[in-house]
Structure 1
Amino acid sequence: MSKPLSLVLVLFALLFALVGAMPLDLSARDVFVPKILYPHAGTVWKAGNHHNVTWDTSDAPVNITNTQGMVVFAKNGLMFTNQTGGLDDPLASGFSILLGRIEIQVPEVAPGDDYQVVLFGDSGNFSPKFTITN
């Protein structure tokens, strides 16, 4: 083997040894799936009114993967994707998931008893179904 090639191989071996010895900051991160407290089954909201969506933060882990929250609507178990209150136009976004509540304005939607709010942060969790009236 030629000396230049040997030198290159030794340098690569040293580089890999140094990189392998470097400490990595892989802090443990936990997924936080807080229970939605309000709205709950039996809740009736009127379109246009303001309400607080609330969730339980009492068991929040120390290291949460994503602390930025977003709230959207769902109907019949499916998130809106092209109406007010959907993924493209959330009811609220950019807040800390550790707040435990966020005020939203109920959009003008067809009345029904199969609405849910979905709270995103680490995960998307659905509230129980509730009613919206006009």
Structure 2
Amino acid sequence: MISFTTFILTLLALFSLSLSAPMRRDVFVPPIIYPRASVVWIAGQHHNVTWETDDAPVNITNGIGRVYLATNTIIDLDHPLAVGFNILDGRVAIQVPSVPTGQNYSIVLFGDSGNYSPQFTIVGLQ
């Protein structure tokens, strides 16, 4: 018969093993739905950046989102458009920054990874 002490020590050993076992985390790369390639934004306007969340895994590595503007795929990390939102929200409101007029802008959504929207146009303030 197992003693009470042996039983408790066995339970503690199993518990410590379960704590040390890594929890499986999945990288979530949601496709950006808006803005699309045909979109024209005006500096100073407000828009919702939106992304797909239907296929989100249960255990996301990083569920805290950030949105940046990129020009020619170069991300402006010094001026985030939105930070600290739940990546599973599927959207976040941003204000279009005052930038030079151009057709080579993209939105970059960070959480687990950085994924780019298609390039679109921003009309800067004159």
Partner of 2:100: 110
The size of the alignment, in residue pairs, is 110
* Equivalent residue in structure 1 for 2:84, among 67, 71, 94: 94
**Structure 1 residue 104: Cα displacement:** 0.1
Instruction: Give percent identity, aligned residues only.
Output: 59
The equivalent of 2:73 in structure 1 is 77
Structure 2 Cα separation of the partners of residues 133 and 114 of structure 1: 11
Structure 1 unaligned segments of length 5 or more: list them: 1-17, 81-86
Alignment gaps of 5+ in structure 2: 1-12
Q: Counterpart of 2:6?
A: none
Which runs of 4 or more aligned residues in structure 1 lie more than 4 Å from their structure 2 counterparts after TM superposition? none
Letter in structure 2 aligned against 1:102: V
Q: Could you say which structure has the larger radius of gyration?
A: 1
Tell me the equivalent position of 1:32: 28
Q: Does 1:57 align with 2:53?
A: yes
- C-alpha deviations, 1:70-127, integer Å up to 9, x for none? 00000011112xxxxxx12200000000000000000000000000000000000000
CA root-mean-square deviation: 1.5
The one-letter code of the counterpart of 2:27 is V
3-state secondary structure, aligned to 1:28: coil
Q: TM-score by structure 2 length?
A: 0.83
